Structure 1
Amino acid sequence: MDISLTPKLEEMIREKVASGFYDDASDVVREALRLLAARDESLAQARLSLLEAIEVGEADLTAGRFSVIEPEDDIRAFFDRL
């Protein structure tokens, strides 16, 4: 597989290898891809949690269960009361 990197990214990889934490550029790229996969999974889980919360909120609204936030209310304090 051939990839092209900007000079800045190439320098970043060289610095990581020079730090001694990685044996070579491939190790740096593998670690970067592992971190990217972990971030993607975390974002996917956050998205699912948000969608679930939206469904709960919509169900509450449909059932007539809701609270009104007044403009002068501090939103954090409002949610602390719930």
Structure 2
Amino acid sequence: MPSAERMTITMPSDMAEALRQTVAGGEYASTSEVVREALRDWTRSRNAELRDLETLRDAIKAGLDSGPGSSADQVFAELRARYADKP
């Protein structure tokens, strides 16, 4: 494990109690272990959200770069004309 840094955090008493109960139940060796796992999960989730946001930004940019758009009325008129003779 890389070097560790001691931090002090403040949380609502119900969260603190949940941490203590989890450790007392033997699921984790310490409250620090619980917090580290929670931060790892948060980091993974945050990184996924950032990737999704970047993908969305890229899609928006691609749409803007693709040229001027068409109005919905125009698109539907073209579709109706195209498929008017089809059974």
**Which bracket does the TM-score occupy, shorter chain normalised?**
0.5 to 0.7
User: Is 1:43 the counterpart of 2:49 in the alignment?
Assistant: yes
Spell out, residue by residue over 1:47-73, the C-alpha distance to the aligned partner (whole angstroms, 9 max, x if none): 10000110111123x1x4657387xxx
Spell out, residue by residue over 1:4-59, the C-alpha distance to the aligned partner (whole angstroms, 9 max, x if none): 22101101212322343211101001101111111111111011000011011112
Bigger Rg, structure 1 or 2: 2
Distance 1:59 1:37 in 2: 32
Counterpart for residue 18 of structure 1:
24
The structure 1 segments of at least 4 consecutive aligned residues displaced by more than 4 Å after TM superposition are 64-67
Distance 2:27 2:70 in 1: 53
Identity %: 31
How many aligned residue pairs are there? Answer: 68
SS at match of 1:23: coil
Q: TM-score with structure 1 length normalisation? A: 0.67
Distance 1:17 1:8 in 2: 14
Counterpart for residue 15 of structure 2:
9
CA RMSD of aligned residues (A): 2.3
Distance 1:8 1:42 in 2: 28
